[in-house]
Structures are given as C-alpha cells and as structure tokens.
Structure 1
C-alpha cells in the first residue's frame, strides 16, 4: 500500500488538495500523512505593516487556519491526524519523506520561491495539485524520450500499477526508436502516441489537448528552475499551463 505525504500551506486551497486525496484513497487505497509547516518568515507577497507586526498577525490567522483545516479533514472523512511542525519547510519535508512513497503539494501562483525550494530537495515522486480534482482515469505522459521522463514513468508504473492505459504526448520531437514506448509495452501499459509539431500545431493546441486529461506525467525539472523559467523551457511551461494534477517521479 502506497503512502502520500500531503503538505498543506496557509493561503492554499485546502479543499482542492483534500478532494484529490480522497480520489487517491478511493481509487488506489493510498494511506495519507497530512503535514502543516508553520511559517518562520513572512510569505512572499504578504505585507501588512512592519515585518514583526505582520508576523504576529500572520501567526494569529495561521492558528485559526490550522484549526479550520483539522475540522475540514474530519468533515471530509480523513481521520489521519494533521501533523503541525515549526521550522524550515525543506528540512522538515526531507525528514517526513522518509516515511512515505510520494509527496502531494499544491502549485503556487507564479511558482514562488518556497514551491521551487521544495522541488529542488525532492528525492521521492511528487503530485502537484493545480486547479482540478483528478479521478486518475485519463492519463497523459508528456515525453521527449529523455532520461527524466523515463525515470518519472518508471516511478509512475510502480506507484500506480492499476493504470494500464495512457496517451503519450510529444512536442517537436522526432524519433525512430522510442525507449519509453518499449518500457510501457514491457510493463503491459497500452499506449497511444500523439505527436505535436510547431510546423503544424501551436503550443496552445498542445496544452489544450494536455488539459483534456485528468492526470499528467512529466519529467523532473533541472535544479536551475529560474533559468528554465526565463528561457521558457517546456517543463516549466507544463507546470504553469496545466490545470490537472501532475506526477513527477
């Protein structure tokens, strides 16, 4: 049985994360480890008064948010106890990842520093919740047949052995031999290939098709997230454009 660490954060849509957790439990019987890390600093973009007064106000509202979150978890039928820690996000998450098979986090607007810090230290797969609730029924693999997507797909097959049908989407990719297809075939996963090319398609068409699926598998980003964002690398664009949850292995 797989176990997922669910990271809740102040200002995020806890209900959206909880609905995705419920889908995981219902479809795959995942165990849940809910975690909330209290802020040690004022989050980016949050300014009320002076930093010290802002932090005092934030702590007051944050305590209320945590109690509401505990009640919401119970109301939604999740009786796993919410763990509340105080410290540095990445350090606490690294420790708790030892207890689970993957992490679920919610994408933050504009991929803020905390979100990118978490992605940098991950050594287990991650499910990034975006704007919708997945039933984990229609799955798209966004592939360039590189090492990173091969690793993600291998983790995906291991963590979701019940899924036996996927669509492989590619953008501007020509291939004669596709190792990823060979891997999927060997693992008994039925795969349909859909290729998009800038000579015949726009990126908007590609992303529109991608968002017709309720679960997206992609390769990990490099450590230079901001460079990839500036240079408009495909991995960052997928995270920014996706409305469905994303799996990165």
Structure 2
C-alpha cells in the first residue's frame, strides 16, 4: 500500500488536494500523511503592513485555517491526524518524505520560491495539484525521450502498476528512436502516440490536447529554475499551463 504526504498551505485550496487524495485512495488504496508547516517569515509579496504586524495577522489566520482544515479532514472521513510543524518548509518536507512513497502539493499561481524549493529537494515522486480533480485513469506522458522523463515514467510504472494504457505526447521531437516507447511496451503497457510540432501546430494546441487527460506525467525540471524560466523551457510551461494534476518522478 502506497502512502502520500499531502502538504497543505493556507493560501491553497485544501479541498482540491483532499479530493485528489480521495481519488488516489479509491483507485489505488493510498494512505495519507497530512502536513501543515507554519510560516516563519512573511511570504513574498505580502507587504501591506510592517513585518511584525503582518506576521501577527498571518499567525491568527493560520490558526483559524488549521482548525478549519482539521474539521474538513474529519468531514471527508480522513481519520489520520493533521501534523502541524513550525520551521523551514523544505527542511520539514524533506524529513517527512522518509515516511512516505510520494508527495502531493498544490501549484501556486506564479511558481513561487517555496514551491520550487520543494520540487528541488524532493527525492520522492511529486504529484502537483493544479485546477482539477483527477480520476487517475486517462494518463498522458509528455516526452522528449530524455533521461528525466524516462526516470519519471519508470517511477510511475512502479507506483501505479494498475495503469496499462497511456498516451505518449511529444512536441517538436523526432520519433525515429524512442527508448521510452520500448520501455513501456516491455512493461506490457498499451501506448497511443500523439506527435505535435511547430510546423503544423501551435503550442496552445499542444497544451489543449495535454489537458484532456486526467494526469500528466513529465520529467523533473532542471535544478536551475531561473535558467528554465529565462530560456522558456517546456518543463516550466507545462506546469504553468496544466489544468490536470502532474506526476513528476
């Protein structure tokens, strides 16, 4: 039985993460470890008051949020107690990852430093919740046949052995040799291939097709997210444009 660490933050939609976990539990019998990390500093962009006054207001808001979250978990028949820690988010998450098989967190609108730091330090697969609840049935793998997507797919196949059919979606990729396709077929997984390129398609068409699926499997980003952003690499764009949850292995 797999266990997932679900990280809640006061500025995110707890119900969306809970509903996605419930889908995982229903489909794959996952267990949950719910975690909330209290802020030690004023989040970036919150500057309408002095730092001390802002933190006082934030602590009061967080305490209220935590109580509401505990009540919501009970209402949704999740018996596991919410773990509340105080400290540096990424450090605490890194420690709790030792207890689980994967991590779920919600994407923030502008991919802030805290979100990206957690992606950088995670040594277990991550499910990024975006704007919808997945049934974890229709799976698309966004592939350039590189090392990172190969690693993600290998972890995905290991963690979700029930999945026996996927779509392999590519952008501007020459398909003559595809090791990932060979890997999937060797695992007994039926693969449908969809190829789009800038000669005949727009990127909007690519993202529209990608978002028709329940779950997007992609490779991990570079350790240098700033470089990814200024060079407009596809990994950043996938996270920003995705509606469906994303699996990053």
TM-score (normalised: structure 1): 0.99
Partner of 1:89: 89
In 2, the alpha carbon distance for the partners of 1:57 and 1:200 equals 52
Query: Counterparts of 1:53-132 in structure 2 under 5 Å?
Result: 53-132=53-132
Partner of 2:162: 162
Q: Offset at 1:227?
A: 1.3
Query: Counterparts of 1:1-249 in structure 2 under 5 Å?
Result: 1-249=1-249
Q: SS in structure 2 opposite 1:162?
A: coil
Q: SS in structure 2 opposite 1:79?
A: coil
Deviation digits for residues 138-186 of structure 1 (CA, Å, limit 9, x no counterpart): 0000000000000000000011111110000000000212100111001
Runs (4+) of structure 1 moved beyond 2 Å? none
Q: SS in structure 2 opposite 1:141?
A: strand
Structure 2: which 5+ runs fail to align? none
Aligned residues between the structures: 249
Mean CA deviation greater in 45-54 or 167-176? 45-54
Deviation digits for residues 8-65 of structure 1 (CA, Å, limit 9, x no counterpart): 0011000000000100011000010000000000111223310001001100110000
Q: Offset at 1:74?
A: 0.6
Q: SS in structure 1 opposite 2:154?
A: helix
Q: SS in structure 1 opposite 2:104?
A: strand
In 1, the alpha carbon distance for the partners of 2:220 and 2:245 equals 14
In 1, the alpha carbon distance for the partners of 2:168 and 2:44 equals 36
Q: Offset at 1:224?
A: 0.7
Deviation digits for residues 185-243 of structure 1 (CA, Å, limit 9, x no counterpart): 01111000000010000000000000000100000001011211111100000000000
In 1, the alpha carbon distance for the partners of 2:66 and 2:140 equals 35
RMSD of aligned Cα (Å): 0.6
